[in-house]
Amino acid sequence: AAVPSTPKQWHLGMFEIGRPLGKGKFGRVYLARERSSGFICALKVQYKSELQHGSGVEKQVRREIEIQSNLRHPNILKLYGHFHDSKRIFFILEFAGKGELYKHLRRENRFPEWKAAQYIAQMASALRYLHRKHVIHRDIKPENILMGIHGEIKLSDFGWSVHAPNHRRATLCGTLDYLPPEMIKSGNKDNSYDEKVDLWSLGVLTYEFLVGEAPFEDTPVMTQRRIARADMTIPSFVSPEARDLIKKLLVLDPNKRLPLESVQQHPWILKHCVKGERAANREKSSGRD
């Protein structure tokens, strides 16, 4: 049963609440079922009291709703609607059947190259879609990626996304690992940056999928210094093709980073993502079924 896409007045009584699925900085997520349609979703609950008034977090929530409500892409977690009561804000989100990607990454330590390449190809597709709408995600990291029931990835948590270009200084808390040089360098004129920040983060994500830790992971001070110099070493077990892609994304000058179209055509991606088709063709030509 599809969730009616027409905006309607949602309220809590319309849902049966199931088990808790997880908790984040500002709130918790529960499995939920919409009573009339039986539709399964994830209900994210945030307490208004936890969102300090006028600290810009409210604006961030409003921006998250406005941005994510208008996005429709297979690798972006859908926000079907939202509502609030006196104390809480509720987000009706797509339920991702296989949960948080970072838990899979920690469990497997690192992903095999074919799996990492498929995830990066899906991320590049989602980012192309976002950038065409002039949305910068700004917070690409395994913790913000969920996995659908067929193993497809779903970018989520648009709390940090903004419309490009952006000239505001982001008050950041949480990991520095994914920040591009232009977002931490104070020397940057009026701290302006654009969609290319997501290209840097895609490079960090590729590295973390293949190595199991972030390229600049260190003490906060050292991390910032290493980011500013793009000072990382890529272990020898990483294939030359994957190494090539990482080095073409983790480039200090935003304008010299590999564009998303070229990421999708990169030999490492093509080798692992159209393999199915090419292997199928090979089998066909060799007569095997």
Ligand X SMILES: Cc1nn(C)cc1-c1nc2c(-c3cnn(Cc4ccccc4)c3)c(Cl)cnc2[nH]1
DSSP states along 238-281: S-HHHHHHHHHHS-SSGGGSPPHHHHHTSHHHHHHHSHHHHHHH
Rounded Cα distance, 120 and 158, in Å: 19
Number of residues interacting with ligand X: please give it, by CB under 6 A. 18
Say which of 139, 157, 177, 198 is annotated catalytic: 139
- For ligand X, which residue of 95, 129, 158, 216 counts as binding (CB under 6 A)? 95
Sign of CA dihedral 240, 203, 93, 109: positive
By CB under 6 A, is residue 99 in contact with ligand X? yes
Closest separation in Å from C-beta 215 to ligand X: 24
CA max distance for the chain: 68
By CB under 6 A, is residue 18 in contact with ligand X? no
Rounded Cα distance, 133 and 4, in Å: 24
By CB under 6 A, is residue 199 in contact with ligand X? no
Nearer to ligand X, 27 or 203 (CB): 27
**Start-end of H helices in 133-237:** 181-184, 196-211, 220-228
By CB under 6 A, is residue 71 in contact with ligand X? no
By CB under 6 A, is residue 23 in contact with ligand X? yes
x/- contact string, 148-187, with ligand X (CB under 6 A)? --------xx------------------------------
- For ligand X, which residue of 15, 32, 34, 42 counts as binding (CB under 6 A)? 42
User: Is the separation of the CB atoms in 125 and 75 below 8 Å?
Assistant: yes
By CB under 6 A, is residue 28 in contact with ligand X? yes
User: Is the separation of the CB atoms in 93 and 78 below 8 Å?
Assistant: yes
Nearer to ligand X, 121 or 146 (CB): 146
- Neighbouring residues of 110: CB distance < 8 A, sequence distance ≥ 6: 209, 210, 211, 212
| 253 in catalytic set | no
Q: What is the DSSP letter of 6?
A: S
Nearer to ligand X, 41 or 246 (CB): 41
Nearer to ligand X, 28 or 247 (CB): 28
- Neighbouring residues of 208: CB distance < 8 A, sequence distance ≥ 6: 105, 141, 142, 214, 215
Nearer to ligand X, 41 or 250 (CB): 41
Radius of gyration of the chain (CA): 20
Could you tell me which stretch among 9-17, 25-33, 125-133, 161-169 binds ligand X (CB under 6 A)?
A: 25-33
By CB under 6 A, is residue 22 in contact with ligand X? yes
Catalytic residue set: 139
Q: By the criterion CB under 6 A, which residues form the site for ligand X? A: 21-24, 27-29, 42, 44, 93, 95-96, 98-100, 146, 156-157
